A and B are shown apart, each in its own frame.
Chain A
């Protein structure tokens, strides 16, 4: 059986009750991704909870509380494949208090499947989600303008949402947007083209997902990066350094710099897990390498190709704050960046983002789910790239020192739209 190389990772984005989970349920049911017993279980659960013959949201809303309340609390991951490509779908919650879970789902996505209730237009929560998705580096948008049946399939109503979406998406820098008039509930334009929208000539949601190039990022020439996770001792006394490649591919013979030490050396051997088939250290592969020079490299260090990242103890960053207590100047936290964990302190809070207007306003604290600009100082030097150059070396999380909870997502630098 042939193995696929075409995978699209997508996350649902939008406000509560606009129909995200129903749309994913419809996509999975109409492309026959569900096993018979799973579909039977959804039918039975729908009947028992008195919500009709088939509540499609129950396909992904699998927790007891979610079904009782009719909302999504946390991300559900589903895996689907069509003859065209494989999909990894993160169905994210819409409620503002679960924004941290939406960010979790969107952080690994290349495309956002945005769901907007045509009767309500873009709500503040949808703007917040779009802003977070843009900050996290989601590139493409497929927008389901949903519940079209409720506005009698009005092309005018559809167009007014499209105009609104295009304005906001343009400000946020999304470069590939497809809007589709849908009824997730009835199945129109999700997998099968609708008879109700003769005025619409574009793709269905599935066709838009199958043809999107959001996952096919130009392999930017921002330099290979190998954060060292583990040192493997080889028989005979040598050592190799293990980690996952990002940025650009690594090869035997490449000249690399060990950072933060700043030692230039050469890769003398490169081992992949699937030797024979995967000979190069392609991006996304776990490899280990031997180096020409004797070094004291270890976990937390990084091997980099040119152009080199920055070594610094002070970072200007954009953070999404998830903590219950506010973040203020002087807050002390732990910071995890690549494979290094170090104490960190907020030196200054330089602004709070207003997600409705995208203006950056002065403020003295970040409250739960706020997005802000901060200056951080770290105890150990970090080896960073701007997030827009590298999503691995440009990202970090902040950790509460007492509870060990993850309380913020951080991105080095500042998005162009802020």
Chain B
């Protein structure tokens, strides 16, 4: 047989191939969908995604807006990074606010220290309807979670925003077909094939800017659920918990009430690459309380329309 490989081995390194594949997906979806939007949390994956989107359409302007689903319980460093990044790009920022959804009575208020992670789905789906978005780019990776490992690169959502893992569209070769009917939409995941290590190696190669909380710093923390949680306006020490000052960094960035820090002395990207290459706990296992509710916590949230 003389078939050619779809992605043959060449002397091109794997980061260049991952980058090119992601840019290919960004351009396909931007070309085929009417109103795409890029989900940007200020975390490392969405920072890489935004960096790739800018490269895909340079020297032109980003041909779609950027949306932040704001739980109202964010790390201030991440919000500052979000605003600075969007301003530098002269991009349009849409904010889907969980606080507004609570104020309007769309969802019940979980209380001052309640987790708002799941409420993001309502704010996200409301914003998709309000703005008529038919595609939303996300920075999710298949190596993050066993449900994400099952998801297509272009993932169809019905009129209720639901993912049906039993009825995913076949997705052959690199023929990404993004046609949807009115009211339905797509989630597009250009970083599907990237691992956490790939992300950090790419950040190192491209000098992608990140919020400072990814790098080791001293912080007041308490030990809870086998994680270090920062003491701040959203997290107060419970009886029996001791506030300690520790050298920590964040491996993921999410809602401040459910995102934990890890002990680390890595202050440079190079040091983080070394740390990630030898880690023996996954990033979500180490730092996300929201995945610990049940065996299929991510699948259940995704079915409802989560990222």
| A77-B193, A244-B20, A404-B179 known; A391 vs B280 contact (CB < 8 Å) | no
Per DSSP, chain B at the interface is loop
For the complex of A and B, list the 10 residue pairs with the smallest distance between their C-beta atoms, beginning with the closest. Answer: A62-B146, A37-B285, A3-B13, A286-B20, A35-B282, A404-B179, A137-B3, A107-B172, A217-B5, A100-B170
Binds B, one of A144-152, A232-240, A342-350, A357-365: A232-240
How far does the alpha carbon of A108 sit from the alpha carbon of B28 in the complex, in Å?
18
- Measured CB to CB, the nearest residue on chain A to B4 is A220
Nearest Cβ on chain A to B230's Cβ, whole angstroms: 21
- Chain A 1-45 against B: per-residue CB contact (8 Å), 1 yes, 0 no? 101111101000000000000000000000000011110010011
Judge if B304 is at the interface, Cβ distance under 8 Å: no
- Asked whether A104 lies within 8 Å of B170 as measured between CB atoms, the reply is yes
Judge if B24 is at the interface, Cβ distance under 8 Å: yes
- Asked whether A339 lies within 8 Å of B16 as measured between CB atoms, the reply is no
Contacts of A137 in B (CB 8 A): 1, 3, 6
- Chain B 145-182 against A: per-residue CB contact (8 Å), 1 yes, 0 no? 11101101000000000000110111111110101110
- Asked whether B4 lies within 8 Å of A390 as measured between CB atoms, the reply is yes
- Chain A 187-229 against B: per-residue CB contact (8 Å), 1 yes, 0 no? 0000000000000000000000000000111111010000001
Judge if A353 is at the interface, Cβ distance under 8 Å: no
Judge if B267 is at the interface, Cβ distance under 8 Å: no
How far does the alpha carbon of A277 sit from the alpha carbon of B181 in the complex, in Å?
42
Contacts of A243 in B (CB 8 A): 24, 27
- Asked whether B146 lies within 8 Å of A339 as measured between CB atoms, the reply is no
- Asked whether A65 lies within 8 Å of B14 as measured between CB atoms, the reply is no
- Measured CB to CB, the nearest residue on chain B to A408 is B170
- Asked whether B1 lies within 8 Å of A397 as measured between CB atoms, the reply is no
- Asked whether B149 lies within 8 Å of A230 as measured between CB atoms, the reply is no
Binds B, one of A68-76, A121-129, A310-318: A68-76
- Asked whether A399 lies within 8 Å of B177 as measured between CB atoms, the reply is yes
- Asked whether A232 lies within 8 Å of B299 as measured between CB atoms, the reply is no
A contacts with B, residue count (CB < 8 A): 91
Judge if A120 is at the interface, Cβ distance under 8 Å: no
Judge if A322 is at the interface, Cβ distance under 8 Å: yes
Nearest Cβ on chain A to B175's Cβ, whole angstroms: 5
| A137-B1, A229-B24 known; A73 vs B166 contact (CB < 8 Å) | yes
| A62-B146, A79-B195 known; A107 vs B1 contact (CB < 8 Å) | no
| Residues 388-414 of A contacting B (Cβ, < 8 Å) | 388-392, 395-397, 399, 403-406, 409
How far does the alpha carbon of A53 sit from the alpha carbon of B20 in the complex, in Å?
42
Judge if A182 is at the interface, Cβ distance under 8 Å: no
How far does the alpha carbon of A256 sit from the alpha carbon of B293 in the complex, in Å?
57
- Asked whether B2 lies within 8 Å of A220 as measured between CB atoms, the reply is yes
Binds A, one of B55-63, B67-75, B124-132, B238-246: B55-63
- Asked whether B192 lies within 8 Å of A77 as measured between CB atoms, the reply is yes
Contacts of A67 in B (CB 8 A): 295
- Asked whether B280 lies within 8 Å of A36 as measured between CB atoms, the reply is yes
- Measured CB to CB, the nearest residue on chain A to B280 is A36
Judge if A51 is at the interface, Cβ distance under 8 Å: no
| A5-B12, A76-B150 known; A222 vs B295 contact (CB < 8 Å) | no
Contacts of A257 in B (CB 8 A): none
Q: Which residues of B contact A (CB under 8 A)?
A: 1-17, 19-21, 23-24, 27-28, 30-32, 55-60, 142-143, 145-147, 149-150, 152, 165-166, 168-175, 177, 179-181, 192-193, 195, 201, 205, 273-274, 277, 279-282, 285-286, 295-296, 299-300
Given contacts A215-B8, A243-B24, 5 further A-B contacts (CB under 8 A): A62-B150, A76-B149, A229-B31, A234-B59, A397-B170
Contacts of B143 in A (CB 8 A): 78-79
Contacts of B173 in A (CB 8 A): 107-108, 391-392, 395
- Asked whether B3 lies within 8 Å of A233 as measured between CB atoms, the reply is no
- Asked whether A247 lies within 8 Å of B149 as measured between CB atoms, the reply is no
- Asked whether B299 lies within 8 Å of A395 as measured between CB atoms, the reply is no
Nearest Cβ on chain A to B295's Cβ, whole angstroms: 5
- Asked whether B281 lies within 8 Å of A273 as measured between CB atoms, the reply is no
The residue from B27, B59, B172 contacting A409, defined by CB atoms under 8 A apart = B172
Judge if A63 is at the interface, Cβ distance under 8 Å: yes
Nearest Cβ on chain A to B32's Cβ, whole angstroms: 8
| A5-B13, A392-B6 known; A37 vs B142 contact (CB < 8 Å) | no
Contacts of A232 in B (CB 8 A): 57-60
- Asked whether A104 lies within 8 Å of B172 as measured between CB atoms, the reply is yes
The residue from A108, A139, A322 contacting B7, defined by CB atoms under 8 A apart = A108
- Asked whether B23 lies within 8 Å of A273 as measured between CB atoms, the reply is yes
Contacts of A100 in B (CB 8 A): 170
- Asked whether B193 lies within 8 Å of A88 as measured between CB atoms, the reply is yes
| Residues 367-391 of A contacting B (Cβ, < 8 Å) | 387-391
Between A76, A77, A235, the greatest number of chain B beta carbons within 10 A of the residue's beta carbon is seen for: A77
- Asked whether A397 lies within 8 Å of B193 as measured between CB atoms, the reply is no
Contacts of A35 in B (CB 8 A): 279-282, 285
- Asked whether A62 lies within 8 Å of B2 as measured between CB atoms, the reply is no
Contacts of B168 in A (CB 8 A): 74, 101
- Measured CB to CB, the nearest residue on chain B to A230 is B27
How far does the alpha carbon of A107 sit from the alpha carbon of B195 in the complex, in Å?
21
- Chain A 308-336 against B: per-residue CB contact (8 Å), 1 yes, 0 no? 00000000000000100000000000101
How far does the alpha carbon of A399 sit from the alpha carbon of B156 in the complex, in Å?
14
The residue from B2, B7, B146, B201 contacting A284, defined by CB atoms under 8 A apart = B7
- Asked whether B2 lies within 8 Å of A388 as measured between CB atoms, the reply is yes
Between A35, A396, A399, the greatest number of chain B beta carbons within 10 A of the residue's beta carbon is seen for: A35
- Measured CB to CB, the nearest residue on chain B to A72 is B150
How far does the alpha carbon of A62 sit from the alpha carbon of B302 in the complex, in Å?
13
Contacts of A36 in B (CB 8 A): 280-281, 285
